[in-house]
Amino acid sequence: MHHFKYRENALFCEDVSIQDISAKIGTPFYLYSYATLKRHFQVFDAAFEDVSKLICYSAKANSNLAVLKIFADLGCGLDIVSGGELYRGLMAGFSPDRIVYSGVGKRADEIDYALETDILMFNVESPVELELINRRAASLRKRAPVAIRVNPDVDPKTHPYISTGLKKNKFGIDTDAAIESYRMAGSLEHVDVVGIDCHIGSQITETKPFEAALKSLKNLIIELKQMGTDIKYLDMGGGLGITYADEKPPPLSEYAATMTQQLKGMDLKLILEPGRVLVGNAGILVAKVLYRKSGETKNFVIVDAGMNDLLRPTLYNAFHAIEPVVNSNANQIVADVVGPICESSDFLAVDRNIFNVKSGDLLAIMSAGAYGYVMSSNYCSRLRVAEVMVKDDRFHVIKTRENYEDLVRGESLPPFLEV
The DSSP secondary-structure symbol of 265 reads T
Q: Is 201 helix (H, G, I), strand (E, B) or coil?
A: strand
d(CA 99, CA 90): 9
Q: How many CB atoms lie within 10 A of CB 285?
A: 27
Query: Which region, left, alpha or beta, applies to residue 151 given φ > 0 means left and ψ of -120 to 50 means alpha?
Result: beta
CB of 3 within 8 A of CB of 33? yes
From 13, 198, 342, 380, the catalytic residue? 342
What is the phi/psi pair of residue 268, to 5°?
-130, 155
What is the phi/psi pair of residue 58, to 5°?
-85, 105
Q: If you compute the radius of gyration of the chain from its CA atoms, what whole number of angstroms results?
A: 23
Residue 249, preceding peptide bond in cis (omega within 30° of 0): no
Residue 256 vs residues 46, 89, 211, 269, 272: alpha-carbon distances, Å: 10, 26, 11, 14, 11
Please, what is the end-to-end C-alpha distance for the chain in angstroms?
58
Q: Is 342 a catalytic residue?
A: yes
Tell me the catalytic residues: 342
